Amino acid sequence: MIELSHYLVVSGILFSIGVVGVLRRKNLLMLFFATEIMLNAANIAFAAVSSYYGDLSGQMFAFFIIAVAASEVAVGLGLLIVLYKKQGTLDLDDLAVMKG
Amino acid sequence: MIWDLYLVMPLALVFIGALFLMLFSLVKQVELTNYNLVTVAFLSVSLIIELIIFQNVEHDYLFETIFAKMFIVDKLSTLFNILFLSGAILTLLINNNYFKSRDYYNGEFFALLLFSIFGMMMLAHTNELITAFISIELASITLYVLVGYNHHSPKSSEAMLKYIILGSLAGVFFILGVALVYGVVGSTYLGDIYSYLIHHQNSDISLLVVGMMFMMVTLLFKIGAAPFHSWVVDVYIGSPFPVTMFMATTLKIAIFSILLRLFLVDFAPIYPLILEIIKVVAIATLLLGSLLAIAQTQLKGMLAASSIVHVGYMLMALYAIGVGSSFAASAIIFYLISYFLSALGAFGILSFLASDEEKRHLSFDDFKGFAHERPYMAAAMTIFMLSLAGFPSTIGFLGKFYIFMSVVETGEILLAGLGILIAFISIYYYFKLIALMYFYPSPNPKKRFPFAISTLLIVGVALMIVWGGIGTGLIPFVAGADGLLTIASEALKTIGK
Amino acid sequence: MTTHLALASSVIFVIVLALPILFHLTRYVGARSDNERKNEPYESGVGLTHTESFDTFNIKFYVVGIVFLLFDVEVLFLFPWAINLRDLGLFGMVEMFVFIGILVAGLIYVYRSNILKWA
């Protein structure tokens, strides 16, 4: 029997995959992928809890999170184009100059 | 319904203004100053309505039949909205010269700024965690773009890169925390979480506490508190002056609005579990921020690092709230106002100089002999530095005084002592600038005081700081600094549970 | 109610300790191979058909892609609204028109900034 806790654990695992992705990946595009994974982990948790309580608002929250994620990625992709046009690379080690 | 429409007016005006400017920016032959004036006009009307609302509102929900209790309107939210709006107006007007001196500003800049303020105002009104998340994201996504607005400068793009990656990573923690809280409580309204905690005192709430910790991570990141402060200096240095100014003052207040609301309403039953963390974070923020500030060579970097230290003081007061101080919450609001004025003025002078002369970096050395070159500006800068350092007879002193008093009231003498020690350390990097300005000969001849809207406003802000510091004792019947404290505590009373 | 404690600690354990260690271990455990064949995109067993996959496209594609992404996602909100249209009544109708109006304002902005022109 699959219970709420299983879903939450799945969401926790997905979330940590995302965290590791952000920490380990060096390509800017991959970083955005990783944050998307983390947002979707939260979506799974919301949908599971929503069906557990029989309360539809949780699923609405998931919609809003998708919309927020999309706008964040749109801004991120815009930045990506600017950086690639200028520097010709998306590797984080080459892009970061300042240190503080 | 009519009453609700009246309450929603300031929010709606800012949003309509943002849309209008977005479309208006397509008309290419409009001068930049006109965009600025239109933006300021929208913000001013909104501010006036907000001021009237502040007199009349007690505790209301916006369109309760439709939005349930998602948006709360009380004196606290209105007070914060007044701060956002006046912060934005001052930022725009003080930077008027700067906008004209750079070629990368256009109408969209002002539209984005308005969207960001709209997000912050929503954040002050929010009574529900998902709304809080959306408002935080609305405020920060627009700021990501604004940080990278100078597309000629690689530094600006890099600041945006750092801010967007770390910011979205931190934002995700908030939403996971909300999901966990929702899983336990079954609702995301602030009041429901409070009543759940009250009614389930003996049951196990670890999942809820973990969720709240995740939410705290995001909020601490956005205000730039200790373990998450590494982005602050880079992003502040990299972004254009108006944006740095806006972030350092207005965004910080916005995040504190939700932090205070969460802390006073939701976290009240679990203070024993989280207070130690807050204390450690506050101490670490004070120490690490001071170290960073001492190491900076650029003035912008120093102000950025010192903003971390100021957050540390406010976290100290946040700790005092939990221990049971009666006026720590109003002390935080007062400190926010005092820091807001001082930082606005200091960044304002920097941005004015950057627009007037072709000095790009503004390091400490550029200020050698500044007092002989521009005596009035130097005097204003001295006032801002004194206020930031917490020198008596400025509003900054009163802010620090109230915070330390609230900490002492709870019996945490050691913590208050550390705060005072940090304040003494901060004298080093603030007074370095004052010494450089006054004790070196000037390489350039004396210049006349330039009469412009920017400079007049800077002088006005400087006068306000002095008036806030000593005006209370001198002029009776006029609400001075104590009046502000009364207003803050009045606002906090309407928060409700 | 010890399930909460177990769940909370497992979430914390998984996030803070187990997974990072596991991911870190993958660097050392197991064979590592890196050759040209491995990095090729798999295309139904057929060898590489044309140039590299990291070919550059016209920048217009990216911008249109971003704009599409935004407008595409906003349609999401129409579905729950359409289901509850009768219950929401007049206010729901007005509300959605306001929402669409905001999107149209965005579309006008995109159209007038010549992003959709292919010349």
Q: Say if B43 falls within a structural domain.
A: no
The answer to whether A2 and A29 are in contact (CB under 8 A) is: no
Q: Tens digits of per-residue pLDDT, B303-318?
A: 999 999 999 999 999 9
Residue of A nearest to B229 (CA): A100
Distance (Å, rounded) from C-alpha C113 to C-alpha B239?
Answer: 25
The answer to whether B224 and B307 are in contact (CB under 8 A) is: yes
For C58, the token pair is 């016209």
Confidence band for B359, pLDDT divided at 50, 70 and 90: low
Q: Say if A100 falls within a structural domain.
A: no
Residues of B in contact with C91 (CB under 8 A): 66
Distance (Å, rounded) from C-alpha B206 to C-alpha B204?
Answer: 6
The answer to whether B148 and A79 are in contact (CB under 8 A) is: yes
Q: Residue A90 is part of which domain span?
A: 4-95
Which one of C23, C24, C78 makes the best mutation probe of the A interface by having the most chain A beta carbons within 10 Å? C23
Interface residue C119 vs chain A (CB under 8 A)? no
Choice between B348 and C43, residue whose per-residue pLDDT is larger: B348
CA atoms within 13 A on the CB side of B440: 18
Residue of C nearest to B213 (CA): C12
Residue of C nearest to A80 (CA): C62
Q: Tens digits of per-residue pLDDT, B26-47?
A: 887 788 888 999 999 999 999 9
Helix (H, G, I), strand (E, B) or coil at B458: helix
pLDDT for B387 equals 92
Flag residues of chain C having pLDDT under 70.
1-6, 9-10, 12-20, 22-24, 26-27, 29-34, 37-57, 119
B61: part of which helix (H) or strand (E)? strand B59-61
pLDDT for C51 equals 57
The answer to whether B58 and B493 are in contact (CB under 8 A) is: no
For B423, the token pair is 């304040």
Residue of A nearest to C75 (CA): A67
Residue-wise burial string across B209-220, b where 16 or more C-beta atoms lie within 10 A, e elsewhere: bbbbbbbbbbbb
Tell me the residue length of chain C. 119
> Mean pLDDT across chain B, nearest whole number?
87
Distance (Å, rounded) from C-alpha B191 to C-alpha B497?
Answer: 6
Measured CA to CA in angstroms, residue B2 lies from B57, B67, B73 at distances of 14, 15, 15
Cβ <8 Å between B210 and C5 = no
pLDDT for B357 equals 67
Partners of residue C46 on adjacent β-strands: C43
Distance (Å, rounded) from C-alpha B279 to C-alpha A78?
Answer: 40
Residue of A nearest to B291 (CA): A100
Fold of C2-112: Methane Monooxygenase Hydroxylase; Chain G, domain 1 (1.20.58)
Q: Say if B280 falls within a structural domain.
A: no
For B92, the token pair is 């725009």
The answer to whether B174 and B126 are in contact (CB under 8 A) is: no
Strands (E), B171-302: none
- Cα–Cα nearest to A48, from A96, A88, A2, A86: A2
The total domain count for chain B is 1
Distance (Å, rounded) from C-alpha B390 to C-alpha B427?
Answer: 9
Cβ <8 Å between B204 and C2 = yes
- Identity of residue B175: I
Task: Label each residue of C38-92 as H, E or C.
Answer: HHCCCECCECCCCCCCCCCCCHHHHHHHHHHHHHHHHHHHHHHHHHCHHHHHHHH
For B51, the token pair is 């001021």
Helix (H, G, I), strand (E, B) or coil at B81: helix
Distance (Å, rounded) from C-alpha B124 to C-alpha B291?
Answer: 32
The answer to whether B361 and B343 are in contact (CB under 8 A) is: no
Interface residue C65 vs chain A (CB under 8 A)? yes
Q: Say if B265 falls within a structural domain.
A: no
Helix (H, G, I), strand (E, B) or coil at B383: helix
Distance (Å, rounded) from C-alpha B406 to C-alpha B332?
Answer: 10
Distance (Å, rounded) from C-alpha B315 to C-alpha B281?
Answer: 8
Number of helices (H), then strands (E), in chain B: 22, 2
- Cα–Cα nearest to B106, from B64, B149, B166: B149
Which one of A19, A46, A55, A71 makes the best mutation probe of the B interface by having the most chain B beta carbons within 10 Å? A46
Cβ <8 Å between A19 and C15 = yes
pLDDT for B47 equals 94
Helix (H, G, I), strand (E, B) or coil at B427: helix
- Cα–Cα nearest to B12, from B117, B91, B107: B117
B73: part of which helix (H) or strand (E)? strand B72-74
Residues of B in contact with A83 (CB under 8 A): 157, 161
Distance (Å, rounded) from C-alpha C72 to C-alpha A67?
Answer: 10
pLDDT for C5 equals 67
B372: part of which helix (H) or strand (E)? helix B370-373
Per-domain residue ranges of chain C? 2-112
Strand pairing report for B72-74 and B59-61? antiparallel
The total domain count for chain A is 1
Q: Say if A30 falls within a structural domain.
A: yes
Distance (Å, rounded) from C-alpha A69 to C-alpha B373?
Answer: 50
Residue-wise burial string across B403-438, b where 16 or more C-beta atoms lie within 10 A, e elsewhere: bbbbbbbbebeebbebbeebbebbeebbeebbebbe
Cβ <8 Å between C1 and B66 = no
Residues of A in contact with B151 (CB under 8 A): 82
B407: part of which helix (H) or strand (E)? helix B395-409
Distance (Å, rounded) from C-alpha B494 to C-alpha B483?
Answer: 17
Cβ neighbourhood burial of C67 (10 Å; 0-12, 13-18, 19+)? middle
- Quote the percentage of chain B above a pLDDT of 70: 96
pLDDT for C50 equals 56
The answer to whether B494 and B381 are in contact (CB under 8 A) is: no
Residues of B in contact with A42 (CB under 8 A): 172, 175-176, 178-179
Which one of A20, A49, A57, A79 makes the best mutation probe of the C interface by having the most chain C beta carbons within 10 Å? A20
Residues of B in contact with A87 (CB under 8 A): 154
The mean pLDDT values, 10 residues at a time, for chain A of 100 residues are 84 88 82 91 92 89 92 89 79 66
List the 67-86 stretch of C: residues with Cβ below 8 A of A.
Answer: 69-70, 72-74, 76-77, 80
Q: Which residues contact B411 (CB under 8 A, 6 or more apart)?
A: B323
- Cα–Cα nearest to A28, from A86, A96, A98: A96
Cβ <8 Å between C105 and B22 = yes
What is the value of pTM for the model shown? Answer: 0.89
Cβ <8 Å between C12 and B210 = yes
Interface residue B414 vs chain C (CB under 8 A)? no
For B91, the token pair is 């930022």
DSSP per position, B404-453: HHHHHHTT-HHHHHHHHHHHHHHHHHHHHHHHHHHSS--SS---PPP-SH
Residue linked to tokens 């965009």: B35
Instruction: Provide mean pLDDT across the span B91-101.
Output: 88
- Quote the percentage of chain B above a pLDDT of 90: 35
Interface residue A85 vs chain B (CB under 8 A)? no
pLDDT for A27 equals 81
Cβ <8 Å between C80 and A63 = yes
pLDDT for B186 equals 87
Q: CATH number of the domain that A49 lies in?
A: 1.10.287.3510
Distance (Å, rounded) from C-alpha C111 to C-alpha C61?
Answer: 15
- Cα–Cα nearest to B107, from B34, B175, B171, B50: B34
Residues of C in contact with A16 (CB under 8 A): 14-15, 19-20
Q: Where are the alpha helices (DSSP H) in chain A?
A: 4-24, 28-53, 57-87, 92-95
Q: Say if B46 falls within a structural domain.
A: no
The answer to whether B376 and B349 are in contact (CB under 8 A) is: no
Q: Residue B357 is part of which domain span?
A: 309-496
Instruction: Provide mean pLDDT across the span B7-29.
Output: 90
Helix (H, G, I), strand (E, B) or coil at B128: strand
Q: How far is A67 from chain C (nearest CA, A)?
A: 6
Distance (Å, rounded) from C-alpha B452 to C-alpha B96?
Answer: 9
For B97, the token pair is 């010269």
pLDDT for B114 equals 94
Which one of C2, C3, C5, C7 makes the best mutation probe of the B interface by having the most chain B beta carbons within 10 Å? C7
The answer to whether A26 and C27 are in contact (CB under 8 A) is: no
Q: Say if B433 falls within a structural domain.
A: yes
Instruction: Provide mean pLDDT across the span B170-192.
Output: 90
Confidence band for B85, pLDDT divided at 50, 70 and 90: very high
Q: Tens digits of per-residue pLDDT, B363-405?
A: 788 788 888 888 888 899 999 999 999 888 888 888 898 899 8
- Cα–Cα nearest to B426, from B282, B312, B279: B312
Distance (Å, rounded) from C-alpha A38 to C-alpha B297?
Answer: 38
